[in-house]
């Protein structure tokens, strides 16, 4: 009852953000309330602009200001490689690594039966049609999905769906991360590291 309604409403919005709990949300709301009004208005303007201008690329499904996005519109990108990711932010991670120069396809999530998210909720059909329409230009599909149960389930489903298209499907290698100690690695990590070993 001691929290002003405007701050409480803002805290409830912050509470919707991933990784933000009720206490942190209330702290953010109080912090913003204590800022100069021009900064608060700027904060609101940026959020409004996001709602008005953000869209998905008509080709790959990535969040963008322009469609097609800068990656799809870049003629220097290798059109024979197609990297499938779950979310738009995964593309930034791939790009930061500076090792991949192909195109992308965003699924919009992972198959999650518990949450009721099936393949029909993802852009799988769009992916299949994209490969069909660009054969034989696409030489390889790379699955860059999380190395967990949901990622494995989605990767298995996609591999089966794409098997009839005669396009090689690969997945990012997994193993022991840099700086980790073997004694703390689980069996699955050790298994992946061994099976994906390389010669020095």
pLDDT in tens, 98-132: 899 999 999 999 999 999 999 999 999 999 999 99
Distances (CA, A) of 15 to 2, 4, 173: 18, 16, 35
How far apart, in whole angstroms, are the C-alpha atoms of residue 58 and residue 129? Answer: 13
What is the SS3 assignment for 100?
Answer: coil
Where in the chain are all domains bearing CATH 1.10.8.420? Answer: 5-53
Please give the torsion angle defined by the CA atoms of residues 156, 159, 160 and 161, in that order, rounded to the nearest 10 degrees: 120
- Look at domain 63-171 and name its CATH class: alpha beta
Cβ pair 140, 170 in contact under 8 A: yes
Mean pLDDT, the chain, integer: 93
Q: In the chain, which ranges are continuous DSSP H helix? A: 5-14, 22-33, 37-53, 88-97, 124-133, 149-162, 187-195
pLDDT confidence tier of residue 194, bands split at 50, 70 and 90:
confident
Structure tokens at 82: 């197609």
Contacts of 73 (CB under 8 A, 6+ apart): 66
Handedness of CA 132, 150, 17, 178 (dihedral sign): negative
Strands 102-106 and 169-171: unpaired
Structure tokens at 57: 């690329």
Q: Under CATH, what is the fold of the domain 5-53?
A: Helicase, Ruva Protein; domain 3 (1.10.8)
Q: Quote the pTM value.
A: 0.86
pLDDT of residue 1: 62
Dump pLDDT digits (tens) for 56-65: 999 999 999 9
Where in the chain are all domains bearing CATH 3.40.1360.10? Answer: 63-171
Whether residue 7 is predicted with pLDDT greater than 70 in this model: the reply is yes
Cβ pair 110, 150 in contact under 8 A: yes
How far apart, in whole angstroms, are the C-alpha atoms of residue 142 and residue 192? Answer: 17
């Amino acid at each position: 009852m001691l929290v002003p309604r405007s701050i409480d409403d803002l805290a409830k919005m912050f509470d919707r953000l991933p990784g933000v709990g009720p206490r942190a949300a209330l702290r953010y709301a109080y912090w913003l309330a204590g800022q100069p009004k021009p900064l608060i208005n700027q904060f609101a303007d940026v959020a409004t602009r996001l709602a008005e201008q953000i869209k998905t690329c008509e080709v790959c499904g990535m969040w963008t200001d322009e469609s097609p996005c800068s990656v799809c519109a870049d003629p220097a990108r290798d059109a024979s490689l197609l990297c499938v990711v779950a979310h738009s932010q995964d593309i930034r991670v791939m790009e930061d690594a500076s090792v991949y120069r192909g195109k992308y396809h965003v699924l919009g999530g992972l198959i999650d039966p518990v949450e009721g998210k099936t393949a029909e909720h993802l852009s799988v059909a769009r992916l299949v049609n994209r490969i069909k329409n660009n054969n034989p230009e696409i030489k390889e599909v790379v699955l860059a999905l999380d190395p967990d149960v949901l990622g494995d389930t989605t990767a298995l489903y996609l591999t089966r769906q794409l098997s009839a298209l005669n396009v090689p499907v690969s997945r990012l290698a997994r193993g022991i991360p840099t700086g980790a100690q073997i004694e703390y690695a689980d069996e699955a990590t050790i298994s992946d590291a061994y099976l994906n070993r390389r010669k020095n």
